[in-house]
Amino acid sequence: MQDEAGNPTAHIVGLFNRTVQFLENGIKPVWVFDGAAPVMKGATLEERTKRKEEAKAKLEIAKDTGDMEEMKRQA
C-alpha cells in the first residue's frame, strides 16, 4: 500500500488493524510518542546515567578478572 506520493503505508494500516483488534477484545491501547523528556524526569535520567556508568565500570573489572557471571549481570 502506498500514498499518492508513492510512500509505503502498510505499517499504518497494520497499526490501525491491530488497534481495532485490541479494542474489540476489550484492550485499551496507550500510545507513547518519542520526544524530549519532561523536565520533571531529569532526576530519574541522571540516576539512570549514573547507574549505567557504574555498571560499565563493574563490567570492565569483571572482564579483567574473567568473572563471567558478573559480566552477564553488568552487560
Q: Is 37 a residue whose pLDDT tops 80?
A: yes
Q: Is 50 a residue whose pLDDT tops 90?
A: yes
Beta bridge partners of 8: 2
Q: Are 9 and 3 in contact (CB under 8 A)?
A: yes
Nearest to 61 by CA among 74, 47, 48: 74
pTM: 0.50
Q: Is 59 a residue whose pLDDT tops 90?
A: yes
Q: What is the mean pLDDT of the chain?
A: 91
**What does the DSSP 8-state code read for residue 29?**
-
Extents of the domains making up the chain? 1-33, 36-75
Greatest alpha-carbon span in the chain: 60
Q: Work out the average pLDDT over 58-68.
A: 94
Q: Work out the average pLDDT over 26-47.
A: 92
